[in-house]
Amino acid sequence: MSAAQGVHKVVIIGSGPAGWTAAIYAARAQLHPVVYTGVPKQDPGPVLPGGQLMLTTEVENYPGFPHGVMGPEMMGLFQQQAERFGTRVIAEDIARCDFSRRPFELHAANGDVIKTNSVIIATGAVANWLGLKNEMRLATIGGGVSACAVCDGALPAFRDQPLAVVGGGDTAMEEATYLTKFASTVYVIHRRDSFRASKVMQARFMGRHNAKVLWNKAVVDVLGDEKITGVELKDTVTGEVSRLDVKGLFIAIGHTPATKFLKGSGVELDESGYILLRHRNSYTNIPGVFAAGDVADSAYRQAVTASGMGCMAALDAERWLAAEGVH
């Protein structure tokens, strides 16, 4: 930060894989980044410093960890690496952004006003949950409840076990089809009598020998203490309550990008609230404002892709600042 003007070179908003990777690259480039990690909140679902990996137990698909690594541990390592190169970390939310003039002004929830020449937005996207108490408890302790089958479905605990997926869109079909590779049976639980998913995605799932659909059913409780043992279902037509024994529950009812704080900032979002990027890089429509990770990626939502985007954003910011004469 310039001592004369009190203006940062780059501020990174968010502290998942994208944010920490951006911080590592920016710090090594002598940009003296500041990371605003955010604070835990429940809207919508649990939003945690460290991102969705804070709700993931064992991560087996991130390169460099041949024996796997716990999600929170990996985010701690990312943070340590960023801090090693001089990244400053502030545990506070950014509530509002003013990108109408430079330096930009970021308004923190505690009333602080932060001035910066560039911003990297890496606030991620939050999985939509059912909102059941035991659902969230089991999700946070590694009890067999997850919002990402591609992330967690291949874990040994789920192999050759009955698993359930909640949802009816393309994401639910994709997740359920993926799980059929490992599970004894995959139940798709849907509260209506037809899917919203495309016909091709439906056919791909329904064609698997271990695929089953439970129509007109809603999950009203998640059962189990340390590990999930089943779910309680309510028929949306008759009201009848039943139990389904499963060893894993995957919630696939969509994601909500963490972009509420950008309202009125001028940053362009798509119809679902994700940040729109320019030219297949990290540039938003506002020069000097970059985005990385799940906040701008509705397709992949993986730790490794988020990290790659964080790298891109830091490199783009470094080059942009240099072109603007900010040293």
Q: Which of 238, 262, 257, 226 is nearest to 45 (CA)?
A: 257
Active-site choice (93, 97, 151, 311):
151
**Selected catalytic residue, list 93, 97, 152, 316:** 152
Q: For residue 151, indicate whether it is catalytic.
A: yes
Q: Give CA–CA dist 26/10, Å, rounded.
A: 8
**C-alpha–C-alpha distance, residues 85 and 87, integer Å:** 6
**What does the block give as tokens for 2?**
């310039």
Cα 62-64-28 angle, rounded to 5 deg: 95
Beta strand spans in 20-159 (E): 34-36, 58-59, 69-70, 88-90, 94-98, 104-108, 113-116, 119-121, 125-127, 145-146
Query: Out of 43, 93, 98, 148, which one is annotated catalytic?
Result: 148
Active site residue 311: no
Report the C-alpha gap between 16 and 54 in whole angstroms: 9
| Chain center to CA of 317 | 22
Element (H, E) at 175: helix 170-179
Contact 188, 213 (CB under 8 A): yes
Catalytic residues: 148, 151-152
